[in-house]
Amino acid sequence: MAAARDEPADLTDEAIIRIAELAKVPTERRADFCAALPGLFKLARNWHEWDVTSAPKRDAIDRQLKQLEKDATAFKARLEGLDDAARKQLGIYALYHERFGTAAADDEDAAKQRRFRIMDLVEGGRVKIGLSRVALFARVVDDIRTAASTREWPPSSAKGGAPSKSLDLPGNPNVKAFDLFVIELVRLVHFHGGRTTLDKNYGTGTLIKITDVARPHLPNDFVPDKLKLSRLRRLQQQARPTGQKPLRK
């Protein structure tokens, strides 16, 4: 077992080139593949951070988002409940603040100037534009409501980072992130004209070798110590373009 690491090692040029060689990426496409590979490793680290979020932290986030969803729903209903006069007034005020800022009218002269500016907007035929701002507010609030209602934590985070029993990669607390990484890695290889091989019966193939090269450059426990080859095979098949036959070595 590899020694524990606080942080994954930086992805080196040597590792990138080795992965490209193992994946048999054609020479003419290798530069593009090598340039894209660090981005995938960066994504993998983000997936890992998301995957291992603790249960208390996740619950706290969910409570905040549920409240935001509730508030956004109520606010949208209030916007939609405005009568025509109120909608026009709100739209004009929105245009005013858009053009002149949100400075408060602390004295009579400033308040008078604000009234004149608002009158100019109305008399200048800007009411229709103002109404479009109100419609935009409603769309933005609805987007916030929809985003706040989307709470889909990875299965491996279901119990504070413990491995999910629904997935057959025992001993790995980051199953979901690892799955995503393998799928996107295989897709990246195929996109650039390369290939990955795997024979789960004999425990051989370039996909296993690529995973071993990648291991030091990913977070601790990201890659299982004991790869379950049947699972790795399914991930490879899921990533493979439709109709392409499995490759074995």
Residue type, 157: S
Task: Answer whether residue 23 is part of any domain.
Answer: yes
Last residue of a domain, one of 148, 170, 198: 148
Residues 19, 69, single domain; the answer is: no
Q: Give the C-alpha distances (Å, rounded to integers) separating 80 from 4, 24, 91, 94.
A: 56, 58, 13, 16
What's this model's pTM, rounded to 2 decimal places? 0.55
pLDDT of the residue at 226? 80
36, part of any domain:
yes
The pLDDT assigned to 152 comes to 58
pLDDT at residue 114 in the model:
84
Examine the domain organization and report whether 19 and 81 are in the same domain. no
* Residue in 216, 183, 214 with CA at minimum distance from that of residue 20: 214
Number of domains in the chain: 2
Q: Is residue 194 part of a domain?
A: yes
Cα separation, 119 vs 171, in Å, equals 69
114 and 168 share a domain?
A: no
pLDDT < 50 stretches in the chain:
1-3, 154-173, 243-249
Are residue 81 and residue 201 in the same domain, yes or no?
Answer: no
Regarding whether 208 and 168 lie in a shared domain, the answer is yes
- Residue 4 located in a structural domain: no
Cα–Cα distance for residue pair 234/82, rounded to 1 Å: 54
Residue 7, in any domain of the structure: no
- pLDDT in the model for residue 7: 73
Q: State the pLDDT at residue 5.
A: 53
Within-domain flag for 247:
no
* Full residue range of the structural domain in which residue 124 is found: 58-148
